[in-house]
Amino acid sequence: MSPLDGKRALVTGGSKGIGRAIALRLAEDGALVTVLGRDAAALAKTAREIRGKSLIADVTDAPGLSAAITAAGPLDILINNAGAALSKPFLDQQEAEWQEMLSVNLLSAVTGCRLVLPGMQARGWGRIVNIASTAGLKGYAYTTAYCAAKHALIGLTRALALEIARSPVTINAVCPGFTDTDLVARAVEVIEAETGRSAEQARAALTRFNPQNRLVEPEEVAEAVAFLCRNEAAAMTGQSLIIAGGEVM
């Protein structure tokens, strides 16, 4: 038997990048995976690859997200992966942009946890993994709203893990460094536009944070998530696993 045979999983932001890699990895371990996001075509493609289901929802729309998670049915595994970043000087960040960063990176996870936790506890097994970031453990200039939201996501993970520690449900965070995804590609474009550097120079400005001098691969993040979802990880809760080539220790 595969480690997650028959377990029902939902991955938010599951159509591309880290979310897609996680969905593929959990399906490989036998989980029945549903991917959730806004890009219908990309979701459908990933769903075919994992032989799973897809749900269209905007995670910043709490009622819509709640309806989608409810439609997914009883869940054993929730991966709160959906996220977005904003790069802008602090004094230029608007109130709406702060709210957006909090909504997508923190409050969507709060909504998901509220919905799935009672059922997991009643059925006697559950895994929640929040995809945070090294930005939840350290600061990066020009990303104050993003860093604040990811720090809060790790705080949520730690506090909730303690609150439910005697139940058969674990909650952990995975903290990737700069990862080879569309999110980083957009960051490269911003650096190009604002500094006049070439794409290669902009990419190098991000890889230099990693002592291995490279971007993390989405599949490397997915491996950590898959481990946290297994029975063998039952004693791990409230942790923040760092996948960043030694950037944060």
pLDDT (tens, 9 = 90+) of the chain, 249 residues, equals 899 999 999 999 999 999 999 999 999 999 999 999 999 999 999 999 999 999 999 999 999 999 999 999 999 999 999 999 999 999 999 999 999 999 999 999 999 999 999 999 999 999 999 999 999 999 999 999 999 999 999 999 999 999 999 999 999 999 999 999 988 888 888 888 888 889 888 889 899 999 999 999 999 999 999 999 999 999 999 999 999 999 999
86 and 153 assigned to the same domain = yes
Catalytic residue positions? 146
Q: What pLDDT is attached to residue 103?
A: 98
Closest CA to 145 of 95, 186, 181: 95
80 and 194 assigned to the same domain = no
Q: What pLDDT is attached to residue 194?
A: 82
Instruction: Assess if residue 248 is contained within a domain.
Output: no
173 and 149 assigned to the same domain = yes
113 and 132 assigned to the same domain = yes
Q: What pLDDT is attached to residue 183?
A: 80
pTM for this entry: 0.96
Q: What pLDDT is attached to residue 188?
A: 81
142 and 22 assigned to the same domain = yes
Instruction: Assess if residue 249 is contained within a domain.
Output: no
Q: Residue 197: which domain range?
A: 178-215
201 and 230 assigned to the same domain = no
Instruction: Assess if residue 234 is contained within a domain.
Output: yes
Instruction: Assess if residue 2 is contained within a domain.
Output: no
Q: What pLDDT is attached to residue 84?
A: 95
Q: What pLDDT is attached to residue 230?
A: 98
Q: How many domains does the chain have?
A: 2
Contact of 242 with 248, CB cutoff 8 Å: yes
